[in-house]
């Protein structure tokens, strides 16, 4: 009997401890949830002072007991610095684990619209997921995955199967033109172009790049800020660009800047695999005469060297100047002007 009584006391004591722990956790959860709810508006105001506009029609706090979750209705985010972007989602949920409020995940199950602040072009997505890592009050890294992107405005007719982006913002804003204001990497699969290019079709099987924006964009009208950024030595360092289009593979790296007309200019080194197909396309489009094709292929063949994947590849300078794109000495494209107003 004594053993049974002792066992009951132990069970009751453990039960009481569990109940106390549960009540303590519930109290902690509701306290933190209330604090997060109360800090939401001041947080958005602080971001507005930094140039980030965050708005919503309604925000509810939930997630008990496993997380802290905000459910937003008609959420919008917009900024001109360090790059102009606006995001709108009819519904978006963001949540964090109780033991780590520096890591927030989010999802927009009904999709979102990503455009420039002037709504001249962008994408509608069917689904959007991501995560944000926060260092103190500063966003340190953002990972975003978008599925089913359809171009709108200037991007009308462009479709993307899925896209993954990784964005890093420094804890300390850049002071000199050599300081990083933003690091961005993007990977896109199955991009469908508005129109087919003879010999290549209308589908890019792969597109990716990694780049850093160097130098701070000052406050003020965007075109004026870009001019000041340019004059202070601001650049975009393109560390890796890869395009796979049919049998053509292009790997490039280099530096982008802005010219006196605020149009992109830059110099890159490009490694091209599948150059014979590029020659065939040049014949189809009339850039080369059929009788010149064999000679061009022969010359390119002499320049080609085995690449890391075992195929022959050529290395040529890629130059962007006065809205003209040159591969070596040959002009391969004329780009439309960009309006920053």
User: For the segment 17-59, what is each residue's pLDDT rounded down to a tens digit?
Assistant: 767 666 777 888 888 888 999 999 998 998 888 788 999 999 9
| Distinct helix (H) and strand (E) counts, the chain | 4, 18
The pLDDT of residue 119:
73
What digits encode the pLDDT tens for the residues 222-236? 888 899 999 999 999
- At residue 146, the pLDDT reads 95
182 neighbors 168 (Cβ within 8 angstroms):
yes
CA dihedral 287, 290, 294, 296 (to 10 degrees): -10
The pLDDT of 269-276, averaged and rounded, is: 79
Structure tokens at 218: 């000052």
- On the question of pLDDT at 109 being above 70, the answer is yes
| 168-185 tens-digit pLDDT | 888 777 888 889 888 999
Q: Are 215 and 234 in contact (CB under 8 A)?
A: yes
pLDDT confidence band for 66 (50 / 70 / 90): confident
Average pLDDT over residues 93-108: 94
Residue 123: its pLDDT value, please?
Answer: 93
If one compares 93 and 83, the residue with the highest pLDDT of the two is: 93
| pLDDT for the residue numbered 10 | 65
Q: Is the pLDDT of residue 104 over 90?
A: yes
Mean pLDDT (the chain, rounded): 83
Average pLDDT over residues 155-170: 90
Residue 266: is its pLDDT beyond 90?
Answer: yes
Centre a 10 Å sphere on the Cβ of residue 99 and count the other Cβ atoms it contains.
6
Distance CA 129, CA 147 (A): 9
Q: What integer pLDDT is reported at residue 317 of this predicted model?
A: 86
CA dihedral of residues 317, 203, 165, 315 (deg, nearest 10): -20
The H or E element that residue 282 is part of is helix 275-284
> Mean of the pLDDT values across residues 2-27?
67
Query: Which is it for strands 305-306 and 248-258: parallel, antiparallel or unpaired?
Result: unpaired
Q: Is pLDDT of 138 > 70?
A: no
User: Is the pLDDT assigned to residue 141 strictly greater than 70?
Assistant: yes
Cα four-point dihedral sign 226, 227, 232, 236: positive
Q: Is the pLDDT of residue 299 over 90?
A: no
> How would DSSP label each residue in 71-124?
EEEEEEEEE-SSS-EEEEEEEEEEEEETTEEEEEEEEETT-EEEE-TT-SEEEE
User: How high is the pLDDT of residue 192?
Assistant: 87
Tokens found for residue 152: 């709108």
- Total length of the chain: 341
Helix (H, G, I), strand (E, B) or coil at 233: coil
Return d(Cα 20, Cα 11) in angstroms, integer: 14
Q: Is pLDDT of 107 > 70?
A: yes
**Could you give the CA distance from residue 97 to residue 66 in angstroms, rounded to a whole number?**
7
Residue corresponding to tokens 């340190």: 140
Look at residue 287 in the predicted model and tell me its pLDDT. 57
H or E, element range at 227: helix 222-231
Q: How confident is the model at residue 210 (pLDDT cuts 50, 70, 90)?
A: very high
Band of the pLDDT at 121, cuts 50, 70, 90? confident
Mean pLDDT of 191-217: 83
pLDDT of the residue at 304: 67
Percent of the chain surpassing pLDDT 90: 38
Task: State both tokens at 299.
Answer: 């010359």
Question: Does position 328 have pLDDT exceeding 90, yes or no?
Answer: no
Cα–Cα distance, 43 to 39 (Å, whole number): 6
pLDDT class of 79 with cuts at 50, 70, 90: confident
HSE, CB side, 13 Å, CA atoms: give it for residue 3: 0
């Amino acid at each position: 009997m004594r053993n049974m009584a002792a066992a009951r006391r132990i069970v009751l004591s453990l039960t009481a401890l569990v109940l106390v722990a549960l009540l303590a956790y519930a109290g902690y959860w509701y306290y933190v949830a209330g604090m997060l709810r109360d800090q939401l508006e001041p947080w958005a105001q602080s971001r507005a002072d930094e140039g980030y506009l965050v708005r919503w029609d309604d925000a509810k706090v939930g997630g008990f007991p496993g997380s802290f979750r905000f459910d937003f209705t008609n959420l919008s985010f917009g900024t001109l610095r360090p790059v102009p972007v606006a995001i709108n989602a009819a519904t978006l949920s963001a949540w964090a684990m109780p033991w780590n409020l520096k890591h927030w995940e989010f999802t927009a199950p009904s999709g979102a619209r990503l455009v420039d602040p002037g709504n001249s072009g962008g994408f509608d997505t069917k689904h959007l997921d991501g995560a944000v890592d926060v260092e103190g009050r500063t966003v340190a890294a953002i990972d975003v995955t978008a599925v089913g992107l359809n171009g709108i405005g200037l991007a009308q007719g462009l479709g993307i199967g899925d896209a993954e982006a990784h964005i890093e913002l420094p804890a300390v804003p850049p002071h000199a033109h050599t300081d990083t204001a933003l690091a961005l990497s993007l990977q896109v699969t199955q991009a469908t172009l508005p129109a087919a290019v003879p010999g290549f079709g209308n589908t890019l099987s792969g597109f990716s790049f990694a780049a850093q924006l160097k130098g701070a964009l000052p406050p003020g009208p965007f075109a004026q800020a870009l001019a000041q950024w340019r004059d202070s030595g601001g650049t975009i360092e393109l560390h890796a660009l890869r395009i796979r289009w049919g049998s053509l593979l292009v790997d490039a790296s280099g530096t982008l800047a802005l010219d006196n007309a605020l149009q992109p200019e830059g110099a890159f080194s490009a490694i091209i695999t599948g150059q014979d197909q590029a020659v065939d396309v040049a014949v189809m489009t009339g850039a080369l005469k059929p009788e010149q094709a064999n000679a061009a292929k022969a010359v390119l063949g002499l320049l080609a060297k085995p690449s890391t994947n075992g195929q022959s590849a050529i290395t040529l300078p890629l130059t962007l100047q006065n809205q003209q794109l040159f591969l070596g000495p040959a002009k391969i494209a004329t780009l439309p002007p960009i309006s920053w107003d």
